[in-house]
Chain A
Amino acid sequence: MVFGFSFRQRKPNSAQTAKERLQILLAHERSSGGASPDFLPLLQRDILEVVRRHMEIDSDAVDVKLERSDDLSSLEINIELPYAKTAKAQGAN
């Protein structure tokens, strides 16, 4: 067991994985005041409101993804645009 352990150091063992996962997660939670991003629903509402000024969109067609890692976090917001509908609406105008 002892020998096996020293060889395994190259590939992270499960305890190291656990520590790294916690460090990343807790860094995010602490920086937002012990919170997960609770502003996201508000952000989503604001973005939708702005987009709606220009086109009709369905609130079901919004997909928000978040990916956290130690050096970079990304927030991805996909809004499916109903092209057919907007084209018709513009034609009517």
Chain B
Amino acid sequence: MSKVIVVTSGKGGVGKTTSSAAIGAGLAMRGHKTVVIDFDVGLRNLDMIMGCERRVVFDFINVIQGDAKLKQALIKDRRLENLYVLPTSQTRDKDALTKEGVKAVLDELRQEFDYIVCDSPAGIERGAHLAMYYADEAVVVTNPEVSSVRDSDRVLGLLNSKSALAEKGDGSAVKAQLLLTRFDQNRSASGDMMSVEDVLEILAIPLLGIIPESTSVLKASNEGTPVSLDEKSPAGKAYMDAVGRLVGEQIEMRATPGEQRRGFFQRLLGRTA
């Protein structure tokens, strides 16, 4: 049975595309045949983050409009056997996305893939709406920061009212889980940043993972590599843990992370010495 998972947030810049790429790569590493779809029509970026920007020929919109076959638009990842990218159009506008078109493409992908990860654009308009509409599950990417938490709450409301599952009216719902990104353990401990518990108390959804603020995230995007492929980085490890939970494993939430904390203790030692 294949699953459609939307990665969404409402607010921009919180790490949706980074998370989509990392989760997609993580699922593929675990042996699941996975495709990541870019829903941000006109502002395509998933291809850059996944490092396949030079190989885009046809896109999601070409497929919806019948100008290309799905098989022609899918880009196979060069590092991972089970990973594919469906890029979006850089030139059309978001009206090119239609409910029927998206459904047809997702139905075709469901025949072949175990996981279909939909990278939502920011905002709550057409692209974001259609990215979440057919989802079975949602990963709500949130930073521990007031505007991001507020926007996530808004998105959770939309998932509960304006998705295909919610509209069935039989009690079905999109299973939404929180992915807290750019989390800084030390700032949280010192009270400068909301804690994981604070955010969970407000949003009241299960926690999928905590991704620590990490230098490896920028490095990975510079190089066009999903950060979960960087096994040494705390962010990469945290994403792999989150992917494990996403497929139903019980993995303990590890107190985040190496690099930040060590830096803090080093600084502390430096100060006291």
The total number of A-B Cβ pairs within 8 Å is 59
Q: Find B55's partner among A17, A24, A35, A66 (CB 8 Å cutoff).
A: A66
**Quick check: is B53 within 8 A (CB to CB) of the other chain?**
yes
The interface centre, meaning the residue of B48, B55, B222 with most chain A CB atoms within 10 A of its CB, is B222
Q: How far is the CA of A84 from the CA of B29 in the complex (A)?
A: 40
**Which of B62-70, B111-119, B138-146 is near enough to bind chain A?**
B62-70
Q: Find B71's partner among A41, A45, A60 (CB 8 Å cutoff).
A: A60
How many B residues, CB 8 Å from partner?
24
**Quick check: is A29 within 8 A (CB to CB) of the other chain?**
yes
Please, which residues of chain B bring their CB within 8 A of the CB of A15? Answer: 222
**Quick check: is A25 within 8 A (CB to CB) of the other chain?**
yes
Q: How far is the CA of A34 from the CA of B222 in the complex (A)?
A: 22
Please, which residues of chain B bring their CB within 8 A of the CB of A17? Answer: 222-224
Please, which residues of chain A bring their CB within 8 A of the CB of B69? Answer: 59-60
**Known contacts A66-B56, A68-B54, A36 near B72 by CB under 8 Å:** no
**Quick check: is A62 within 8 A (CB to CB) of the other chain?**
yes
Please, which residues of chain A bring their CB within 8 A of the CB of B222? Answer: 14-15, 17-18
- Which residues of B are at the interface with A, using a C-beta cutoff of 8 A? 44, 48, 53-59, 62, 67-69, 71-72, 89-91, 218-219, 221-224
- Which residues of A are at the interface with B, using a C-beta cutoff of 8 A? 14-15, 17-18, 21, 24-25, 29, 34-38, 40-41, 44-45, 59-60, 62-69
